[in-house]
Amino acid sequence: MDGQRHRWRCADDLRAGDQGDAGRSILGVEAFTRRLWSEQNRHEGDRLRLFRAVHKAVPGRTVLYPGSFVDIAASAVYPSVTYVDIDKRAPRFFADTGGITEIIAEMGGNRDHVVEFIHADYRDDIDVETESFDLLLSLYAGFVSEHCTQYLKAGGTLLVGPSHGDAAMASIDPRYQLSGVVTSRSGNYKVSTDRLDTYLVPKRPIALTPALLHERGRGIAYTKSPFAYLFTKVAAS
């Protein structure tokens, strides 16, 4: 890792800044931060709806989000989120702590939430405690589960999208058991635990191995296509 790390509590920024009439912070958001967030949030509120639905099913406290880019919607829902990304723009975004605090507040986030950003390749040692997180997020960012399951508590949950092959990777990882699926209809998300045996069934027979998934670098065609999967970590790393 390159040593860039920010950790703060939204409330600290809010105490430092002025408060508007309605008790809302009037801390500024840097133009750079606002622009990146607008791009990230172009389907307005989409990720917020996703994380709210996931939170109902997985109400943990601590979240690790490797390959997050600037997807800070999780912080509007979960009290402590650690973001990890290698992108050059991410450190500048996360350094605008007042701006991020403001955006999280705009999404209705609690003012006592802890936000941490680590500028690193998640495949390296990212210097966080092993088995310490309740929820691990893997969304469009490669084989997060392969490298970061070590940081998830036993009994914790992996939320993983089917792209990049990481859901398939989790499906053959003996540490994981499928515990739910996230479906999406017109931008509304729902977690379901019904008939889980009917998911992760390949359309064509295929002998999945980590090597094959690395070689393909993309997901597997399954007979059902939920937005994402929830896996419970059933064995220690």
Can residue 116 be called a binding residue for ligand SAM (CB under 6 A)?
no
Can residue 78 be called a binding residue for ligand SAM (CB under 6 A)?
no
**Least Å distance between CB 21 and ligand SAM?**
34
Cβ contacts of 158 within 8 Å, gap of 6 or more: 135, 136, 138, 145, 149, 152, 170, 176, 230, 231, 232, 233
Least Cα distance to 52 among 102, 110, 103 occurs for: 110
Can residue 49 be called a binding residue for ligand SAM (CB under 6 A)?
no
Can residue 54 be called a binding residue for ligand SAM (CB under 6 A)?
no
**What secondary structure letter does DSSP report for 162?**
S
Using CB under 6 A, pick the residue from 93, 117, 122, 231 that binds ligand SAM.
122
Least Cα distance to 162 among 153, 170, 172 occurs for: 170
In the beta sheet, which residues pair with residue 190?
A: 183
- Closest residue (Cβ) to ligand SAM? 67
**Least Å distance between CB 160 and ligand SAM?**
11
The phi and psi torsions of 22 (rounded to 5 degrees) equal -85, 15
Distance of alpha carbon 135 from the chain centroid:
8
Can residue 165 be called a binding residue for ligand SAM (CB under 6 A)?
no
Using CB under 6 A, pick the residue from 87, 106, 112, 129 that binds ligand SAM.
87
Can residue 234 be called a binding residue for ligand SAM (CB under 6 A)?
no
Can residue 44 be called a binding residue for ligand SAM (CB under 6 A)?
no
**What secondary structure letter does DSSP report for 139?**
S
Residue type for 170, please?
Answer: A
Can residue 148 be called a binding residue for ligand SAM (CB under 6 A)?
no
Can residue 166 be called a binding residue for ligand SAM (CB under 6 A)?
no
Burial 131-163 (b: 16+ CB within 10 A, else e): eebbbbbbbebbbbbbbbbebbbeebbbbbbbe
Nearer to ligand SAM, 13 or 146 (CB): 146
Can residue 69 be called a binding residue for ligand SAM (CB under 6 A)?
yes
Can residue 182 be called a binding residue for ligand SAM (CB under 6 A)?
no
Can residue 68 be called a binding residue for ligand SAM (CB under 6 A)?
yes
Is residue 60 within 8 A of residue 132, CB to CB? The reply is: no
CB atoms within 10 A of CB 28: 13
The pairing of beta strand 133-138 with beta strand 152-160: parallel
Using CB under 6 A, pick the residue from 85, 96, 146, 166 that binds ligand SAM.
85
Can residue 117 be called a binding residue for ligand SAM (CB under 6 A)?
no
Can residue 141 be called a binding residue for ligand SAM (CB under 6 A)?
yes
Can residue 162 be called a binding residue for ligand SAM (CB under 6 A)?
no
Report the distance separating Cα 229 and Cα 89, nearest Å.
29
Q: Which residues bind ligand SAM (CB under 6 A)?
A: 66-69, 71, 84-87, 121-123, 139-142
